C-alpha cells in the first residue's frame, strides 16, 4: 500500500511539472525549472492562479482524482457536470477543463492534501468528511465542499484539528 502511494506521488509530481512547464509564461526568467512537488504546489498562490487560468488537463485531473477519496459521481457533483461529460472528457486526449472547473479541482485537491496530512490516510479523512461536525453546524464537511466558502470552512477546521483545537 505504501509502495502504491509512493508511485502515485511520483506520477503526480512528474505530471504536475510537465504541466507547469507548458503553462510557464514565455520570457520569464523566474521559471519553474526546479521540480515542484504536489504538496509544494499548494503553497504558491500565483502558480495556482496561473494553473486555474490555463485550465487543468484531464490527464492531471485523473491523477488528482485517483489520490482523492471522491468517487466519479462526487466529482461530477462538485464540478456541476454529468458523469457522462466526465467520461467523454476522459476519451478526449487533450481535454482541458475550463477555469471554473479547474479552480474547483484545485480546491478539492488542496482540501484532500491537508486532510490526508491531518488524518494520515484517505480512509480516515473520508470518514471525517462524512461525519457530522459540531464545529461546522452539525453538517458533514463533505456537504460544504460544493462551494468556496464551505471549502474554506473545512480547511479552517482541518487546520484547527491539526493544531489540536477541538470543539
Q: What is the pLDDT of residue 122?
A: 86
Residue, of 99 and 7, whose pLDDT is higher? 99
| Mean pLDDT in residue range 13-26 | 88
The pLDDT assigned to 29 comes to 41
Question: Pick the residue with more confidence: 133 or 28?
Answer: 133
* pLDDT tens figures, 110-162: 999 999 999 998 899 999 999 999 999 999 999 999 999 999 999 999 999 99
| pLDDT score for 63 | 96
* All three cell numbers of 164: 489540536
Write out pLDDT tens, residues 29-87: 454 557 899 999 999 999 999 999 999 999 999 999 999 999 999 999 999 999 999 99
Per-residue pLDDT at 24:
80
What secondary structure, in 3-state letters, does the chain show? Answer: CHHHHHHHHHHHHHHHHHHHHHHCCCCCCCCCCCCCCHHHHCCCHHHHHHHHHHCCEHHHHHHHHHHCCCCHHHHHHHHCCCHHHHHHHHHCCCCECCHHHHHHHHHHHHHHHHHHHHHCCHHHHHHHHCCCEHHHCCECHHHHCCCHHHHHHHHHHHHHHHCCCCC
Mean pLDDT across 10-22: 93
User: Looking at residue 113, what is its pLDDT?
Assistant: 95
Predicted pLDDT of residue 158: 97
Q: Which residues contact 52 (CB under 8 A, 6 or more apart)?
A: 99, 102, 103, 106
Neighbour-count burial for 61-96, b at 16+ CB within 10 Å, e otherwise: bebbbebbbbeeebbbebbeeeeeebeebeeeeeeb
Amino acid at each position: 500500500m505504501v509502495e502504491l502511494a509512493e508511485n502515485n506521488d511520483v506520477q503526480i509530481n512528474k505530471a504536475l511539472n510537465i504541466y507547469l512547464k507548458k503553462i510557464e509564461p514565455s520570457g520569464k526568467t523566474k521559471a519553474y525549472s526546479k521540480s515542484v512537488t504536489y504538496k509544494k504546489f499548494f503553497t504558491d498562490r500565483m502558480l495556482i492562479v496561473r494553473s486555474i487560468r490555463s485550465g487543468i488537463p484531464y490527464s492531471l485531473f485523473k491523477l488528482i482524482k485517483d489520490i482523492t477519496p471522491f468517487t466519479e459521481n462526487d466529482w461530477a457533483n462538485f464540478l456541476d457536470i454529468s458523469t457522462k461529460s466526465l467520461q467523454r472528457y476522459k476519451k478526449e486526449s487533450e481535454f482541458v477543463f475550463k477555469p471554473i472547473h479547474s479552480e474547483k479541482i484545485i480546491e478539492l485537491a488542496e482540501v484532500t492534501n491537508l486532510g490526508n496530512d491531518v488524518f494520515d490516510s484517505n480512509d480516515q479523512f473520508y470518514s471525517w468528511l462524512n461525519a457530522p461536525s459540531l464545529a461546522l453546524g452539525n453538517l458533514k464537511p463533505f456537504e460544504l465542499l460544493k462551494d468556496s466558502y464551505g471549502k474554506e470552512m473545512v480547511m479552517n477546521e482541518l487546520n484547527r484539528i491539526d493544531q489540536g483545537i477541538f470543539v
